[in-house]
Amino acid sequence: MPPPSHAHESHTPAADSTLFSDMLYVPLVSERQHSQSGADRVGETGHSAVNRRTFLGVAGAAATTAMAGCSGMGGNSGDGTPTLRVTAWSGNYGERFTQAIKPIFESRFDATLEVNTGWNSLLAKIQSAPPDDPPFDVTVTCEPIYYNGRNADLFEPLRYDENIPNIDGVYDYYKDVRPISHGAPVDGAPLTILYRDGLDQPVETWGDFTSETVTNSAGVGVDSGFWIYPLLGAAVGTDAAPGAGELYEEQYHDTLMDTLETWPITGWASSGTDVWQQFQNGIIDAAQWYFGQVYYDMENHEGISFSMPEANAGYMDNWAVVRGTDKRTLGEEFINMLLDPEVQSKWSEDHPLFFTTEGMSYAGDLGDYLPTTAEEAEQMALPRWDDVAPYSETFSNKFKQMKTQG
C-alpha cells in the first residue's frame, strides 16, 4: 500500500492525486459491469528469538523462458536487448526490489529490467500518456490504486492461462480479496505496532491504542497518505464486527470513527523516516506502520519495540501490466516470475514482506511473523475496496478533518 526506514527516506505508496484525492473515489461503472465487459473483450481469466525457517535459493543462471512477444519490440537497450520498464514503490521497497529481482529477471530472460520508483500520481502518469505509449510496462499497485486503475481501463487484462500459470500456486484467500482480472496478488505487509519501551505497558493489540497507557503517552503516529490502513487497525481494535467488518457495514461507521478519534494521534507520517523522526523528537510514543518497512531496521532504533497482533490487518500489492504497452507478453511473464515460489523465497532475504504462494519459504525467522498457511492468511484483514468505495468520500472527508484539527 503500501513502504524504508534506513538512511534513505521511506514512502508508503500514496494515493494518486489526479484520479482521487486522499483515496476518494466515485466509480463511474460498477465493478461487476467492468468485470463482465473485460471478460467479453478478452475471454480470459519487540520481538523475541524464534526458530529460523529455511528458504529456497535461486540457481545462479537459472532457467530460460520462451521469449514470445519480446523480439522486435520498442524500448530496447543500446545493444538491441529488450527493456522491461517496471514501477515499484519508492524508498526501501524499490531498493530491495531491485536488489532481489533485477538479477533474477535478467538471468532468466534475454532482457533488461529497468526499475523506476514512485507512488505519487502513478495513475495520472498512465492516464496522461498516449494510449499506445505508456510511461512504464508493469506496475505495482495496492488499493485504491488498483481499483481506480482497473475501472479507468489503465491496465491490460492478464492472460493467466497463457502466461501466468503460477497463479495456481497462490493461496485462494489472496485471489478472492479483490478481482485479479487485471492484477496478480504477489506481496504485501501486515500492519505493525511500534511503541516506546519506556511505556508503562507494552502496546500489543490495536485495542491498546485506546488504553490508558497510550492515551496518557505523547501520542500515536499513523499513515497520513492512506486512510484505509489506520481505519483497518481501528476496525480490528473496535471488535464490533468480525475482522475489519466495521468498514463495510454502515451501521458500525460511527463506532469505528469514534474509536479512531480516541487514538491520541499526534503524528501524521508519509514515510518510515517520518515515523522514526517523530519517535526521536518525542512527538509520539506509539505508531501504526508496516512490517515490511521496519523489521529489518529495528536494530537501528534503540528503545523502540514492535508488536504483531494476532488479530491484524495489512496491505497487498497486485501487479499489473499497463495499457498500451508493446511488452504485454513479457510483462505477464515477469509477473509469473514474481509468483515463482523460489523467487519469492529469495526475495524475502532482502525484504520482509508477506508473499502469496503456498510453496515459498521465508528467510530467517520471518515465518514466525508472516502467514505461512491458508488459515494464517485469512486472519489478516486486507482492504476490499469494492465494498469500501460507497463510503470512501465520507471516510476521506473525516480523515482530512482529523488531520486539519490535529
311-356 residue pLDDT tens: 999 999 999 999 999 999 999 999 999 999 999 999 999 999 999 9
**Which amino acid is present at 287?**
A
pLDDT for residue 38: 36
For residue 243, name the pLDDT band (cuts at 50, 70, 90): confident
**Which amino acid is present at 402?**
M
Distance CA 23, CA 14 (A): 9
Residue written as grid cell 486472519: 379
pLDDT for residue 86: 99
| Average pLDDT over the chain, rounded to an integer | 84
Dihedral of alpha carbons 242, 248, 253, 256, sign? positive
Contact in structure between 197 and 304 (CB atoms under 8 Å): yes
pLDDT for residue 77: 53
3 state SS of 76 = strand
219: left (phi over 0), alpha (psi -120 to 50) or beta: left
**Which amino acid is present at 397?**
N
Domains of the chain: 31-44+70-188+315-387 (3.40.190.10), 189-314+391-405 (3.40.190.10)
Cβ-proximal residues to 13 (8 Å cutoff; 6+ apart), any chain: 1, 2, 3, 89, 90, 119, 140, 142, 145, 225, 226
211 pLDDT above the threshold of 80: yes
Residue-wise over 154-183: b if at least 16 C-beta within 10 A, else e? bbbbbbbeebbebbeebbebbeebbbbbbb
Task: State mean pLDDT over 276-284.
Answer: 97
HEC-encoded secondary structure of 231-285: HHHHHHHHCCCCCCHHHCCHHHHHHHHHHHHHCCEEEEECEHHHHHHHHHCCCCC
3 state SS of 365 = coil
**Strands (E) located in 17-147:** 83-89, 112-118, 138-141
Distance CA 216, CA 356 (A): 39
pLDDT for residue 80: 78
For residue 226, name the pLDDT band (cuts at 50, 70, 90): confident
State pTM to two decimals: 0.82
Contact in structure between 321 and 85 (CB atoms under 8 Å): no
25-68 residue pLDDT tens: 333 333 333 333 333 333 332 333 233 232 223 333 333 333 33
**Which amino acid is present at 278?**
Q
